[in-house]
Structure 1
Amino acid sequence: MSPLTITTRYVAIGPVLEITGDLDHYTAPELRTAVESLTLAAGQLLVLDLARLDFCDSSGISALISARNLATEQGAGIALAAVPANTARILGIVGLDRVFPIHDDVAAVTAAGSSDPSRRKKIV
């Protein structure tokens, strides 16, 4: 088990949360807290950098959905960057690869500038 670390930095399009370690039943509340502590402006983009994510279970997926819903409520977008293969597979199986904009890395998200507004539907 790898401890969860969340580091926040800001780029021109909005905050980037670098998520390292295991995102599971025990640590998912930490991601929710980190996202809830952000103030997102309308038109900004919240980027979740998963390059160093070691493990993600259903609670972690739920925390990602909560982050998306919170960003959407504040008029912001969300994008996932550098999604590990095992997590990408899960997102694909449950159809969330069609809900989250997914990019190869943070630089690709920054270059894109914003997420597709048609993907800003709230997931319950």
Structure 2
Amino acid sequence: MRALTVTVRDASTGPVVEIAGDLDYETAPRLRQAVEGLALEPGTLLVLDLARLELCDSSGITAFIVARNRAIAAQAEVALTAVPAHTARVLRVVGLDQIFNLYPDADSAALPSAVQPPPTANNR
């Protein structure tokens, strides 16, 4: 088991939450707490950067949904970036790739064109 680290940094478009390690039943509450503590404004973009995510179980997927709901409540957007193959597969199987904007990295999500759902989000 790899320890979970959740690091928040500011970008010009909004907060970027970098998630590293194992996101599971025991650690998912830390991600939810980090997201709940963010000051999201209408029109900002909440980025969940998964580049260093090692494992994600159903509790982790639920934490992503909680983050999305938090963003929607604040009239903000949410994006998942650098989604590992194992997590991307789960998102596809349960249809969540249809509701999350997916980007190859945090920088791509922050581009001005990122305001519209990208082709990889399957939001057509």
Please report the TM-score for the alignment, with normalisation by the length of structure 1: 0.91
Aligned to 2:18: 18
- Structure 1's consecutive aligned runs of 4 or more residues displaced over 2 angstroms after TM superposition are 112-116
- In the alignment, the residues of structure 1 paired with residue 49 and residue 86 of structure 2 have an alpha-carbon distance, to the nearest angstrom, of 15
Distance apart, 1:115 and its partner CA: 4.9
Aligned to 2:57: 57
Q: Deviations over 1:33-69 (max 9, x none)?
A: 0000001000000000000000000000000000000
Aligned to 2:88: 88
For residues 97-108 of structure 1, the aligned pairs below 5 Å read 97-108=97-108
- Give the length in aligned residue pairs: 117
Distance apart, 1:114 and its partner CA: 2.3
Please report the TM-score for the alignment, with normalisation by the length of structure 2: 0.91
- In the alignment, the residues of structure 2 paired with residue 54 and residue 113 of structure 1 have an alpha-carbon distance, to the nearest angstrom, of 26
- In the alignment, the residues of structure 1 paired with residue 73 and residue 106 of structure 2 have an alpha-carbon distance, to the nearest angstrom, of 23
Task: Please tell me whether residue 114 in structure 1 is matched to residue 110 in structure 2.
Answer: no
8 A contact 1:77–1:115 mirrored in 2: no
